[in-house]
Amino acid sequence: MKVSINWLKELVDLKVPIEEVIKLLPLRTIGVKEVTQEFFELDMKGYNRADLLSLRGVAREVAAITGSKLNFTDQPFPEYDLPETPVKIENGNLAPVYCVLKIEGLKVTPSNPGWIKKLDDSGIRSVNNIVDITNLLMIEYGQDMHAFDANCVTKEELTTIDGKKLKLSLEDLIIADPQKPVGLAGIMGGKDSEVSEKTHTILLEITIFDPVTIRKTSQRYGVHSEAAKRVQHGLTKTNLLQAMSAAIKMYESLGGKLTAINLTGNLKDEPKTIKLTQEKINSLIGINIPAEQIENSLKKLGFTLATQGHALEATVPYYRLDINIEEDLIEEIARMYGYEKIPAKELVGEAPQKVDQSFFELIYKLKSTLANLGLTEIQTYSFYSTKILNNLKLNTEDLIKIANPMSAETEYLRDRLWPNLLEATAKNIRNGIKDVAIFEIGKVFSPKEGGTPKENYHLSIALSNGTDNPIAELNQIAKSLSIHPEGVKLDSRYLHPTRHTDYMAEVHPRFVNKFGIEQRVAVLEIEIKAQQ
């Protein structure tokens, strides 16, 4: 999120220099990635603060941490006695709020220099005065909105305004007229209905869409936009009305006239209240913060407080979607107090005993040795596929069956690793890799008396080097491991009659051929124990 410094100063009557703001933000709120004379950029990666994706949200935060005053207040949305624009919502769960304004009498021109400067400082290019209003309001309020040319809205294929042609899916949430899609909801509008020099009447769409659906659609097509980023983090109804009111005023300043309006859905945010106790605050933060300081911090951040016996009841401001539990409030108190002011304390009690890591060190050593010998580590599922069960004619009564398997491919847990490696070898050979040297270290599962499954770690290697004697190379690899093989006996049914030991063998050609392999394959399987 790029924050225009001049625009921020319009929204906040700063009591400190901007340099102090940039210094305080990482200490109290969020990291700063880049700073220039015109803007600073917030590091939003992995940060769950939807309000900070709007300039008004940043202004509220800056005012709170600097003791400054906001130059704006929330205003009620006015009532309009106008015709309705015809809108039908097919799924209210995916689009709980959908508002459309019809604005006539507009003329497309370049934006004024002030608007262009704000957009440029925010990292967005100017298009024209009609489109720029939607982007200016998106930046200031964090609310997605889109202007369609009303004369163009009357193939499930959509060409977006950036030129991408998308073949739409039934899972996608789209904006459509009776004949065709005109936009990918919450992400990007369609090229056929975009504002052009001929536009004089627009349909302004201002909505709240389901964030999960928008995120999946955006990822499916690789279409990412500033609008989608904000929709995915969540929008609020109160903020939507604030942005809509501002949009009407800005289009009226261009000579436009609101001639129809449709507000669909519940437009009221439900308030959230959370109880907060001094004891819990002191316990989690580790110091005693005075009650007056706690209340002042929360009030600066927009929380409304009431006393409930020995506890406080905090009403969460509509724009703080990230606050849900008492611990969230305590985090707000701690950061406003200043993490750097909280003294370090020694841990009380006894230090936990060091966990014995020798077994996992052994596994790491084995993996490193095998990799250095030129083998490739693979990881297969902990189940036998139906192909393995059928080709090897495994007796499923000897295997552990999953009570509620996800599919037929995940019904039976593996009791050996080598069958999965044989299947992987076949896949590699089909893909043109004739020299296959793979290994896996993982758990196998076998029944135990009393019904409790038994788990053991095994190492298995599969080698198919295109020669008539792959077991010779496999034997050299086994000697390089310098470990003693532990009791994994290979079933003689699957072994070459003369080329095998108890734990290492060439797989019998008739089973190899069932997997579509025409060359010899040698396998090894041993149990791994800590004492090795």
User: Do the bridges between strand 522-528 and strand 436-446 make them parallel or antiparallel, or are there none, so unpaired?
Assistant: unpaired
CA dist 259 and 203 (Å) reads: 10
CA distances (Å), origin 92, targets 208, 263, 264: 10, 13, 9
- SS3 (DSSP) at 212: helix
Phi then psi for residue 433, to 5 deg, are: -95, 105
CA dist 490 and 476 (Å) reads: 19
Q: Are residues 144 and 203 in the same domain?
A: yes
Q: What is the pTM of this model?
A: 0.64
Domain-ending residue, one of 235, 264, 293: 264
The DSSP 8-state label assigned to residue 179 in this structure reads S
Give the CATH number of the domain where residue 228 resides. Answer: 3.50.40.10
**Residue 396 in tokens:** 């499923």
Task: Kindly state the helix (H) or strand (E) to which residue 427 belongs, with its residue range.
Answer: helix 418-430
149 found inside a domain: yes
Other CB atoms within 10 Å distance of the CB of residue 513: 12
Q: Are residues 365 and 489 in the same domain?
A: yes
Q: Do 205 and 175 form a contact (C-beta atoms < 8 A)?
A: yes
CA dist 195 and 148 (Å) reads: 6
CA dist 153 and 159 (Å) reads: 14
Task: Kindly state the helix (H) or strand (E) to which residue 146 belongs, with its residue range.
Answer: strand 145-149
Q: Do 474 and 438 form a contact (C-beta atoms < 8 A)?
A: no
Q: Do 396 and 412 form a contact (C-beta atoms < 8 A)?
A: yes
249 found inside a domain: yes
CA dist 192 and 287 (Å) reads: 61
15 found inside a domain: yes
3-state DSSP: the chain helix, strand, coil percent, rounded to 5?
35, 25, 40
Inter-residue long-range contacts of 212-217, CB under 8 Å, 24+ positions, other chains counted: 213/94, 213/171, 213/173, 214/173, 214/185, 214/186, 214/187, 216/171, 217/171, 217/172, 217/173, 217/184, 217/185, 217/186, 217/187
75 found inside a domain: no
Q: Do 418 and 438 form a contact (C-beta atoms < 8 A)?
A: no
Q: Are residues 242 and 144 in the same domain?
A: yes
Domain that holds residue 426: 358-528
Query: Mind listing the pLDDT tens digit of every residue in the chain (532 residues)?
Result: 899 999 999 999 999 999 999 999 999 999 999 999 999 999 988 778 999 999 999 999 999 999 999 999 999 999 999 998 777 777 667 788 889 999 999 999 999 999 999 999 999 999 999 999 999 999 999 998 989 888 876 543 434 444 444 343 434 444 444 444 444 544 444 455 578 888 999 999 998 877 677 666 666 655 556 777 787 788 999 999 999 999 999 999 999 999 999 998 899 999 999 999 999 999 999 999 999 999 999 999 999 999 988 899 999 999 999 999 999 999 999 999 999 999 988 878 888 888 888 899 999 999 999 999 999 999 999 999 999 999 999 999 889 998 888 888 889 999 999 999 999 999 999 999 989 999 999 999 988 766 678 899 999 999 999 888 999 999 899 888 877 666 678 888 999 988 888 789 999 999 999 999 999 999 999 999 876 5
Give the CATH number of the domain where residue 30 resides. Answer: 3.30.56.10
User: Do the bridges between strand 504-507 and strand 522-528 make them parallel or antiparallel, or are there none, so unpaired?
Assistant: antiparallel
245 found inside a domain: yes
Q: Are residues 117 and 259 in the same domain?
A: yes
Closest by CA to 56, choosing from 250, 239, 228, 230, is: 239
Q: Are residues 422 and 404 in the same domain?
A: yes
Q: Are residues 245 and 283 in the same domain?
A: no
User: Do the bridges between strand 436-446 and strand 376-377 make them parallel or antiparallel, or are there none, so unpaired?
Assistant: parallel
